[in-house]
A and B are shown apart, each in its own frame.
Chain A
C-alpha cells in the first residue's frame, strides 16, 4: 500500500481566485499518476493521466505538473468557478503491478460565488 498524501484536505476560495493542491507519493518505481474530479453524488471522472517526469497537462482552466524524482504532483485551477467545487483525487501507481493504484484522500474545493 502506497503512502499517498494530498494537501490541503479542504480549501475554500472565492470565485475568480486561483488555487493549487499537492499530491505526494513514493518516488521509487513510479509508473503513472492519475488525477480525478469527484462531484458530490456523482462518480469520479478522470482529469489527467501523467507518466513522465516533467509532464504537464492542461484542460481548460485546470492544469497539472508532475515530478517523479521527488514524488509530487501539483494541480492548478485558474480563476476558480463555483462549478469547480468538488473533491480532487490523485492516484499514483508504482512498479510492475500497476493495477494497484492507491488513491489519496482528496482535496475538497469549495468555490463561493
Chain B
C-alpha cells in the first residue's frame, strides 16, 4: 500500500520557470492538501481540496495553482517560480476535512535559483 506518493522528490528551477508537483493517494480519501515547510516554521497550507471537483485557498496561495484531477490526484503548479518559493512541499490526504488524521507524502525539496 503506497499511501501518498509525491513526484519529484527533488527539483531545481530557475527563476521564472514553471513546474507541476504531482501527488497521488491510493487510500480512497476525499480530501487532499498541499503544504510548504520553511526552516524554523511549521507547515503552512497552500491549497486544499475537500472533495473531488473542489479546491480552496489556504494560508499562502499566492504564486500557486492546483488541480484536483480526480479523486486520487491533486497537483500543484508554479507558473513562474520565484526564489521565495524555495521550500519543502508536502502533499497530504484524509478521509474527511479537518476531522480525521492526515497522511503525508515524503515531500518535494524545491530550490529556485
Contact = CB atoms under 8 A, between A and B. Distances in A.
Interface of A: 1, 4, 31-32, 34, 42-46, 49, 51, 89, 91, 93, 97-106
A1 B104 contact: no
B1 interface: no
A51 B99 contact: yes
16 contacts: A4-B42, A44-B102, A46-B101, A46-B103, A49-B100, A49-B101, A51-B99, A97-B56, A99-B31, A99-B98, A102-B45, A102-B59, A103-B42, A103-B44, A104-B42, A106-B42
Rank and list the top 5 A-B pairs by shortest CB-CB distance, nearest first.
A98-B98, A46-B101, A99-B97, A103-B42, A43-B104
Interface string B76-111: 000000000000001000000111111111110000
Main secondary structure of the interface of A (DSSP, over half): loop
A23 B24 CA distance: 31
Contacts of B43: 44, 89, 91, 103
